[in-house]
Amino acid sequence: MRLLTHLRHVDLAVPDYDKQLEFYSGVWGLTQVAEDSGISFLAAEGSPEQYVVRLRKADEKRLDLVSYGAASAADVDRLAEQLLADRVRLISQPGKVDTPGGGYGFRFFDVDGRTVEVSADVAARRHRRIEEKEAIPVKLSHVVFNSPDINQTREWYERHLGFRLSDTLMHPRMGEALHFMRISSLHHSMAIARGPHTSVNHISFEMRGIDEYLRGSGRLLRAGHRSIWGPGRHTAGDNTFTYFQDPHGNVVEYTTELETIDEDLWHPHVYDVSHPDVTDQWGTAAPVSEQIFKEMFNDPDRGGFVAPPA
């Protein structure tokens, strides 16, 4: 039974905190809503989530955690009981969440050692409609993780958290390369990419529409940030993409128009990424290459099976 409702936020730890904060609250277009002793909370203006990115000053770069919502405190308790029964390693028991918006939640490790948080009853942030030509993120769209064993990771998320497979990317030489996973009618809120180590592949932010997506991409380019890949439009998910790197080498994406599917009728596809139309329907992005994959592999995550201090 699916108890998760949506993706809430992604929390990153970085050595150069000031530079990272300047990027996300500046050219990337998020709004700093709170700060406390080397921790910043950054919201997307169009989202009711209290924040979509949390930055923490640390000696080592790492993913602190990824957070998902649940519909109620009862569902949080139910999930915790299920995970305990399945011998999943819990970091904390369900209780009060001490971050902006409060709420009720708990944390645990996934199969690759990432810290996952699930919470409910978080107060909604006063947000607003993003206007025409306003090229800032509306919300957090999805997160993609690298895993050396993508099928093990996929099966863990299906079994324990109720994710379902939407589509798979494959390559004739390397086999299955990426699984798109969903917890709602949105094509994916998470994906699992084959990589040499556990790490963040990319974090994606939804823009208002095609014009705002392109304007945002152009703002990054004019500010001197190199596009790793894009602009273009994927086949799986039917969403647009332009990928950049933040100051610590985490890949971030502007996207829009992620596909909404009929879950009762949907059957997963297997797409061959050696066909150019699969990676980019428009033909405007460079062909996918080993260099693009290498940049998305990111650095090995130092946070595996180590709970974040905050």
CATH of the domain at 281: 3.10.180.10
Shared-domain flag, residues 166 and 212:
yes
To the nearest 10°, the Cα dihedral for 233, 237, 242, 244?
-150
Chain segment 25-75, per-residue pLDDT in tens: 999 999 999 999 899 999 999 999 999 999 999 999 999 999 999 999 999
Shared-domain flag, residues 277 and 210:
yes
Is pLDDT at 185 greater than 90 in this prediction? yes
pLDDT at position 118: 98
- Please choose, from the candidates 198, 196, 141, 203, the residue with its C-alpha nearest in 3D space to the C-alpha of residue 174: 196
Shared-domain flag, residues 146 and 23:
no
Shared-domain flag, residues 143 and 272:
yes
State yes or no: cis peptide before 100, omega within 30 of 0: no
pLDDT at position 69: 98
Give mean pLDDT, residues 247-254.
98
Residue at a domain's end among 120, 149, 171: 120
Domain span including residue 163: 139-297
DSSP for residue 291:
H
- Phi-psi group of 205: left, alpha or beta (phi > 0 → left; psi -120 to 50 → alpha; rest → beta): beta
In the chain, how many domains are there?
A: 2
Chain segment 204-223, per-residue pLDDT in tens: 999 999 999 999 999 999 99
Shared-domain flag, residues 166 and 51:
no
Establish if 305 belongs to a structural domain. no
Shared-domain flag, residues 167 and 47:
no
pLDDT at position 220: 98
Establish if 27 belongs to a structural domain. yes
What residues have CB less than 8 Å from 175, skipping those under 6 apart?
none
d(CA 104, CA 106): 7
What residues have CB less than 8 Å from 37, skipping those under 6 apart?
none
Establish if 134 belongs to a structural domain. no
Residue at a domain's end among 120, 149, 177: 120
Establish if 309 belongs to a structural domain. no
Is pLDDT at 1 greater than 90 in this prediction? no
d(CA 236, CA 167): 7
- Phi-psi group of 288: left, alpha or beta (phi > 0 → left; psi -120 to 50 → alpha; rest → beta): beta
Shared-domain flag, residues 88 and 51:
yes
Chain segment 260-273, per-residue pLDDT in tens: 999 999 999 999 99
Establish if 157 belongs to a structural domain. yes
Shared-domain flag, residues 160 and 273:
yes
pLDDT at position 128: 97
Chain segment 130-178, per-residue pLDDT in tens: 999 999 999 999 999 999 999 999 999 999 999 999 999 999 998 999 9
b/e sequence 95-106, b meaning 16+ C-beta within 10 Å:
eebebbbebbbb
Give mean pLDDT, residues 194-198.
97
Give mean pLDDT, residues 232-257.
98
Shared-domain flag, residues 17 and 115:
yes
pTM of the full structure: 0.98
Shared-domain flag, residues 149 and 92:
no
Establish if 34 belongs to a structural domain. yes
Whole-number percent of the chain with pLDDT over 70: 100
Shared-domain flag, residues 166 and 30:
no
| 122 within 8 A of 71, measured Cβ to Cβ | no
Chain segment 75-131, per-residue pLDDT in tens: 999 999 999 999 999 999 999 999 999 999 999 999 999 999 999 999 999 999 999
Establish if 24 belongs to a structural domain. yes
d(CA 221, CA 203): 18
What residues have CB less than 8 Å from 18, skipping those under 6 apart?
none
Establish if 253 belongs to a structural domain. yes
pLDDT at position 100: 96
Shared-domain flag, residues 102 and 240:
no
Residue 262 to residues 9, 184, 233, 268, Cα–Cα distance (Å): 25, 10, 21, 12
